[in-house]
Structure formats: C-alpha cells, structure tokens
Amino acid sequence: MNAKRPLIAVLTGAGISTDSGIPDYRGPNGLWQRDPQAQQLVTLGPYLADPDVRRRAWLMRRDAGALAAEPNAGHLALVELERAGLPVRVLTQNVDGLHQRAGLPDRKVLELHGTAREVQCVDCRVRGGMEKVLERVAAGEPDPACRECGGVLKPCTVMFGEALDPVVLERADAIAKACDLFVAVGTSLQVYPVAALPQIARESGARLVVVNGEPTPFDEVADEVVREPISTALPALVRRLLAEQG
C-alpha cells in the first residue's frame, strides 16, 4: 500500500508575481515606497468617500496592466507540483489570478484577498468583469458607476479597512492545521490574520519553509529560509520535494 503523501500548503504573496511585472507593496521597490499616497487608493474609507481617490484608483488599474500579466516560473513550479500528484493547496494573498492562469485548478487555490479580475457594486452587489470597466475608463469615464443602480464600483478584492471573508479564512485555517509542510512564498508575513497561518501550521506539527527576498517575522522559527529570487528558488524547491517523494 502506498504511504500517505504529505499535504503541502503554499501561502503566496506579492513577491511571487513581481517577475510577471506586478509590483509588490512593501519591498524596497514596492508601491508604498515609491508612492506612500497610493495606499489610499486601496483603502475602503477614502475610496468610498472621495471621487478623486476613485478616479486615481481607476487610472492606476488602467495603467498597471495587471490583467495582461503572464505567470512566471514560480507560478508554473506550483503547477508542476500539483500535476505530479502531490496534495497541494495554494493560499494566495494575491488578487491577480496568475495561479489559475498558470494551470492550477480553481479548487486548489484559495484567494484570501479576492480577485482583481472582477468588480462589484457596493450598493446592489452585482458583479461584472474588470476588463469591461477598464474599457469604460479608457473611453473617458473617470469614475465608472454601476450600470444597474448607479452605485460605486470597486474591485472584488479585500481593501484595507475591510474584513476577510470569514468562510475563506476558516478554510485557510483548516488547511494550515491539516498540512504537513507549509511554504510561505513572497509574503512579508506582516498582515494579520493571514500572517497567523504559518504559526497555526507549526503548532499543528507542519514544517515551515520561508521563501522571501526580505526578512520576515517567522524566519527565526522556520525550518528553512530561502533568500534567493523566487523564480529560481521555488522551482528548485519543487524539484527537491518531487525527488523526496520519489
């Protein structure tokens, strides 16, 4: 009888997508370092209260080109791990959808902070595609409103000032408690409650590996810390895990 294969949980943050051209927030060249005012654009209170903040936010989304970004070697490495038959669950703080575009099934990806590929009206809650709304921005609508009720549109992401979906967080906690290996990739591990997941995994007996360009609060308790660029470090880690499983 085959031995039970270990469950691998991978928590990914902005750092895994920087090689796809999507800037992170807190790194040395991150968005907050270059423009500290940019955090207003993704903070719920200012976004809802100030039309100028919304106009700037829509221009930022239009110019970022995130919807056209392609998965990189880090995303593809996780697909390789899944296709080899290992039990893998990806918990992502990213809203770019690149794990799914790389080939991971939707059911294997838990989007902790939602998705930037859709928008939702804050009033009537109707949802639609981000691409269509950005086309309206490009055509001259600086602050496109909901076409159903005239309400404010926002991306289907968890903004600063919003709580995470408790159902999503409960699923993430369950995965952290059940996994045998927890890998944190490209995340500063500073934003709670998501930053608690590595500790939950460790307390449940999992090994902890941190792959990040900058130090994190969990480095001292991790079983392994990798400082190399993610697009090379993650494929190497995956090759090693596959070799260990035979």
10-residue block means of pLDDT along the chain (246 residues)?
75 94 63 63 93 94 83 97 95 96 96 96 96 95 96 95 94 98 95 94 97 94 95 96 85
Per the CB < 8 A criterion, the answer to whether 169 and 193 are in contact is yes
Per the CB < 8 A criterion, the answer to whether 80 and 234 are in contact is no
C-alpha closest to that of 155 among 147, 144, 166, 169: 144
Eight-class DSSP state of 72: -
What was the pLDDT predicted at 29? 53
CA distance linking residue 156 with residue 168, whole number of Å: 14
214 phi and psi, to 5 degrees? -115, 160
> What is the dotted CATH code of the domain comprising 1-22+70-113+164-246?
3.40.50.1220
Let me know if 113 is a catalytic residue. yes
Cβ within 8 Å of residue 239, ≥6 positions away:
none
114 phi and psi, to 5 degrees? 85, -160
The residue annotated as part of the active site, out of 113, 144, 159, 211, is 113
What was the pLDDT predicted at 34? 56
What was the pLDDT predicted at 2? 44
C-alpha closest to that of 11 among 172, 168, 244, 143: 172
209 phi and psi, to 5 degrees? -120, 130
CATH fold for the domain made of 24-68+115-157: SIR2/SIRT2 'Small Domain' (3.30.1600)
For the chain, domain boundaries: 1-22+70-113+164-246, 24-68+115-157
CA distance linking residue 103 with residue 113, whole number of Å: 20
What was the pLDDT predicted at 102? 97
Which DSSP string do the residues of 166-214 spell out, in sequence order? HHHHHHHHHHHHH-SEEEEES--S-STTGGGHHHHHHHTT-EEEEE-SS
